[in-house]
Amino acid sequence: MEIRTVGVVGAGQMGNGIAHVFALAGYEVTLTDVSAEALEKARTLIERNLDRQQSKGAISAEDKEAALARISTTETLTDLGPCDLIIEAATEREAVKTAIFEELVPHLAEHTILTSNTSSISITRLASRTDRPEKFMGFHFMNPVPVMQLVELIRGIATDQPSFDACLAVVEKLGKTAATAEDFPAFIVNRILMPMINEAIYTLYEGVGSVRAIDTSLKLGANHPMGPLELADFIGLDTCLAIMNVLHDGLADTKYRPCPLLTKYVEAGWLGRKTGRGFYDYRGETPVPTR
């Protein structure tokens, strides 16, 4: 099956990036969100990011205009029904994702492949709440989507080979690289990355090092482009906590216990860059450690 039309659910940080790369690769994209304001912001951000690519010579002015013309927006979720491929990129809460799929299912075309951009939730369990577990899989992009080259493709227990092959062909057309992961909590990237971030937070919690010392140590000592606490703020501390809880609940191993300090920051609403404060305070000209 050749995929031509793509629906993206959620116009936030991940959804707008997914719409961007699909439109640039020649797909007709319909982006939906419950918020008209979020859709408007997404279009503005996509245009700004395309401008940045054009200024660097990565794309032409014609490429930019053609990509923007391929993106339509709607507040009506069921408008995505006829799409060949749908990628759900809503918030990382299983109840929200399940509600989206249950609303979509009666309106889907017979051939539509349903996917989720979830970073940790069971694909098999999400698929079981739909009418097409064989045409359901994980399609996990990295953030920021236009920049990061990896896509994790995750099969549920029922995912059939044609659906997997169709999604693999899409990843190749996007110019990205696919890594195939089995359907276990947090898959590959976050199974390795999140415990490292959680351990960095424990290192801060226990007073082993300051925010600045921990991030500097990993950047210079392990050659990471971004320190783990800075990265946590970029991802969103609520997302980090959600993934750690999925790992802890799904694998029943105490080594995945979320650090109490991470929980405290989330309870305070200090979620990182998106709220202006996390392990750093972003409200001034230069980020300043909050601890």
Any known ligand binding at 66?
A: no
Query: Annotated binding residue at 119?
Result: yes
14 annotated to bind ligand: yes
> Phi and psi dihedrals of 290, rounded to 5?
-95, 0
Q: Which of 49, 116, 190, 198 is catalytic?
A: 190
Would you say 64 is a known binding-site residue?
no
Establish whether 49 is a catalytic residue. Answer: no
Place of tokens 């696919």: 178
119 carries an active-site annotation: yes
Active-site residue (options: 152, 163, 198, 230)? 152
Measured distance between the N- and C-terminal CA atoms of the chain, rounded to whole angstroms: 53
| Measured distance CA(122)–CA(172) in Å, rounded | 24
Structure tokens at 94: 């299983």
Which tokens is 266 given?
């989330």
In 10 A of CB 286, how many CB atoms?
A: 7
111 has catalytic annotation: no
Active-site residue (options: 119, 120, 122, 163): 119
- Is 92 marked as binding a ligand? yes
- 10 annotated as belonging to a binding site for a ligand: yes
Cα 48 to Cα 41, 68, 275: the distances in Å are 10, 11, 21
Please provide the size of the chain in residues.
Answer: 291
Structure tokens, 100:
């989206």
Give how far the C-alpha of residue 35 lies from the chain's centroid of Cα atoms, to the nearest Å.
Answer: 18
H-assigned helices in the chain:
13-24, 36-55, 61-69, 94-104, 123-127, 161-173, 189-205, 211-221, 228-235, 237-251, 260-268
Provide the token pair at 80: 């995505």
15 annotated to a ligand binding site: yes
Long-range own/partner contacts, residues 276-281 (CB < 8 A, 24 or more apart): 278/232, 278/233, 278/237, 279/204, 279/211, 279/229, 279/230, 279/232, 279/233, 279/237, 280/211, 280/229, 280/230, 280/233
Is 107 an annotated catalytic residue?
no
**Residue 226 annotated in ligand binding:** no
Find out whether 244 is annotated in a ligand binding site. no
Active-site position among 140, 163, 198, 230: 140
Q: Does the annotation flag 149 for ligand binding?
A: no
Binding-site residue numbers are 10-15, 33, 92, 97, 119, 143, 274
| Residue ranges at the known binding site for NAD(+) | 10-15, 33, 92, 97, 119, 143, 274
Residues annotated as catalytic are: 119, 140, 152, 190
